[in-house]
Amino acid sequence: MKKWGILSLKNKKYPKETNKIYDELDAFIFSHQKFFITTHESPDGDGLGAQIAFREYLFSLGKNVHIVNGDPLPPKYDFLDAENIINIADKFTLPVDYKDYSLIIIDTNTFSNTGGTYTLCKEWIKDFFIIDHHEGNSDIFASNLVLVHASSASEIIAQYLIRNNFIPSKKAATALYTGILFDTGGFRYSKTSSETFLVISWLVKHGADPTSIYELIYENNQLATLLLKSRMLSSIETHHQGRLIYMELTTQMLEETGGEFSEGELNINIPLTIKGVEISVLLKQDIGGQLKVSMRSKGDLDVSIIAISRDGGGHKNAAGFKSNLSFEETKKIVLSDLERFFI
Ligand SMILES: [Mn+2]
């Protein structure tokens, strides 16, 4: 993937290819009037922030826009959707002219990962456009803006809005800031770049308030979240002399603590704070959901290889896949797959 970003745009060496990438999105927007915007199932701060800001941009161009997601947003993001603009696919009434709509998919490169939205649209949607920063290439065949060096989909959208001289409202700036804050783990993960901070500077200039967003995201937890974390930490097993930590998030833990699945998932990052740990693996299942495997790694250990070999996806240091097997069998498989890193 090519170098890109604000710096790149100012650098005469790169304007052609960078603009070409954005030109495709310009062309897609220009050639359609009506849009649904969606993100992956179990939406996170990044997908939500990006779609809220992108909706505002499309509105400013006089387009018809509906956000339609497969799952509700986690309660801690309610502040992003005070006006209730996010629709859930299984409760959404399609407009009569729904066949005139095209679809913009944000923060996943696989249409089927949009869950309920995929079920709602797959039979009749004619045209869709992917805006994403994940590796893996399931549905990248035609129109897309996939920049794997970007910290987040929100960063890509922000860059695009800057490039198109769009001035975001405080609400849109807050949404994008939240997306970047979430996907960079508070500006810590490896794709956090100088360009990330340039975008952040632009967002703060347009009204995103770092202090209040921090408090809303990180100091607004429920007791149930803490109890769920405690149960998950009790499931920890160490392997390979403490270099790999395995953990579980089961439906039983969710039922007994009342914690949210989306909160529990985030605990996968905790084992990486332990000295000497190189890989963290989490087997997780939401109530009524499918068993999923998430992997996090440090440095050059590329866990996306394992995820892609099992029909999943992700980045070098953060990847996952779905499993139709039991917890016990899935655990056996993933631990065996990961042995290659410890030979
Ligand atoms: Mn993301």
Rounded to the nearest whole angstrom, what is the distance from the C-alpha of residue 47 to the centroid of ligand 1? 6
Residue whose pair of structure tokens reads 């997601």 in the numeric block: 69
Domain final residue, candidates 217, 249, 275: 217
Query: Is residue 250 a contact partner of residue 282, using CB atoms and an 8 Å limit?
Result: no
Residue 1 maps to a domain: no
Rounded to the nearest whole angstrom, what is the distance from the C-alpha of residue 281 to the centroid of ligand 1? 19
Regarding whether 282 and 142 lie in a shared domain, the answer is: no
Distance from the first to the final alpha carbon of the chain? 31
Rounded to the nearest whole angstrom, what is the distance from the C-alpha of residue 38 to the centroid of ligand 1? 13
Regarding whether 61 and 98 lie in a shared domain, the answer is: yes
d(CA 209, CA 213) in angstroms, rounded, equals 6
Residue type, 313: G
Residue 41 maps to a domain: yes
Regarding whether 61 and 105 lie in a shared domain, the answer is: yes
Query: Where do the H-state alpha helices sit in 37-126?
Result: 45-60, 116-121
Regarding whether 163 and 64 lie in a shared domain, the answer is: yes
For residue 144, the model assigns a pLDDT of: 85
Q: Helix 194-205 vs helix 153-163: angle between axes, to the nearest 10 degrees?
A: 70
To 5 degrees, how large is the angle CA 30–CA 33–CA 39? 90
Regarding whether 146 and 234 lie in a shared domain, the answer is: no
Residue percentage of the chain with pLDDT more than 90: 83
Rounded to the nearest whole angstrom, what is the distance from the C-alpha of residue 192 to the centroid of ligand 1? 12
Regarding whether 152 and 76 lie in a shared domain, the answer is: yes
Rounded to the nearest whole angstrom, what is the distance from the C-alpha of residue 54 to the centroid of ligand 1? 14
Rounded to the nearest whole angstrom, what is the distance from the C-alpha of residue 232 to the centroid of ligand 1? 24
Residue 72 maps to a domain: yes
For residue 232, the model assigns a pLDDT of: 98
Query: Is residue 91 a contact partner of residue 85, using CB atoms and an 8 Å limit?
Result: no
Rounded to the nearest whole angstrom, what is the distance from the C-alpha of residue 90 to the centroid of ligand 1? 23
Rounded to the nearest whole angstrom, what is the distance from the C-alpha of residue 84 to the centroid of ligand 1? 22
Digit-coded pLDDT (tens) for 63-108: 999 999 999 998 889 999 999 999 999 999 999 999 999 999 999 9
Residue 114 maps to a domain: yes
Query: Is residue 317 a contact partner of residue 269, using CB atoms and an 8 Å limit?
Result: no
For residue 18, the model assigns a pLDDT of: 58
Regarding whether 276 and 166 lie in a shared domain, the answer is: no
For residue 75, the model assigns a pLDDT of: 87
Rounded to the nearest whole angstrom, what is the distance from the C-alpha of residue 264 to the centroid of ligand 1? 18
Between the CA of residue 336 and those of 46, 249, 266, 297, what are the distances in Å? 32, 20, 24, 16
Query: Is residue 271 a contact partner of residue 247, using CB atoms and an 8 Å limit?
Result: yes
Regarding whether 237 and 311 lie in a shared domain, the answer is: yes
Regarding whether 307 and 192 lie in a shared domain, the answer is: no
DSSP state of 115: T
Rounded to the nearest whole angstrom, what is the distance from the C-alpha of residue 237 to the centroid of ligand 1? 28
Query: Is residue 286 a contact partner of residue 250, using CB atoms and an 8 Å limit?
Result: no
Q: Which among 321, 297, 293, 296 is positioned nearest to 307, based on CA atoms? A: 321
d(CA 16, CA 8) in angstroms, rounded, equals 10
The number of domains in the chain is 2
Rounded to the nearest whole angstrom, what is the distance from the C-alpha of residue 34 to the centroid of ligand 1? 24
Q: Give Cα 108 to chain centroid, integer Å.
A: 7
Rounded to the nearest whole angstrom, what is the distance from the C-alpha of residue 254 to the centroid of ligand 1? 24
Regarding whether 33 and 174 lie in a shared domain, the answer is: yes
Regarding whether 17 and 146 lie in a shared domain, the answer is: yes
Rounded to the nearest whole angstrom, what is the distance from the C-alpha of residue 274 to the centroid of ligand 1? 25
Rg of the Cα trace of the chain?
A: 20
Cβ-count burial of 178 within 10 angstroms (0-12 exposed, 13-18 middle, 19+ buried)? buried
Range of the domain at 71: 6-217
Task: Return the number of other C-beta atoms located less than 10 Å from residue 119's C-beta.
Answer: 13
Residue 165 maps to a domain: yes
* Residue 24, domain CATH: 3.90.1640.10
Rounded to the nearest whole angstrom, what is the distance from the C-alpha of residue 105 to the centroid of ligand 1? 12
d(CA 257, CA 179) in angstroms, rounded, equals 27
Across all residues in the chain, what is the average pLDDT? 91
Rounded to the nearest whole angstrom, what is the distance from the C-alpha of residue 106 to the centroid of ligand 1? 8
Rounded to the nearest whole angstrom, what is the distance from the C-alpha of residue 262 to the centroid of ligand 1? 14
d(CA 331, CA 333) in angstroms, rounded, equals 5
Lowest mean pLDDT among 169-173, 243-247, 261-265: 261-265
Residue 87 maps to a domain: yes
Domain final residue, candidates 194, 217, 240: 217
Rounded to the nearest whole angstrom, what is the distance from the C-alpha of residue 319 to the centroid of ligand 1? 12
pLDDT band at 10; cut points 50, 70, 90? very low
Here the tokens at position 248 are: 């579980």
pLDDT band at 139; cut points 50, 70, 90? low
Residue 47 maps to a domain: yes
Residue 261 maps to a domain: yes
* Residue 277, domain CATH: 3.10.310.30
Rounded to the nearest whole angstrom, what is the distance from the C-alpha of residue 184 to the centroid of ligand 1? 9
DSSP state of 5: S
Digit-coded pLDDT (tens) for 146-205: 888 899 999 999 999 999 999 999 999 999 999 999 999 999 988 999 999 999 999 999
Rounded to the nearest whole angstrom, what is the distance from the C-alpha of residue 133 to the centroid of ligand 1? 7
User: H/E element holding 319?
Assistant: strand 318-323
Rounded to the nearest whole angstrom, what is the distance from the C-alpha of residue 48 to the centroid of ligand 1? 9
Domain final residue, candidates 217, 245, 260: 217
**Positive/negative CA dihedral, 45, 46, 47, 51:** positive
Regarding whether 199 and 55 lie in a shared domain, the answer is: yes
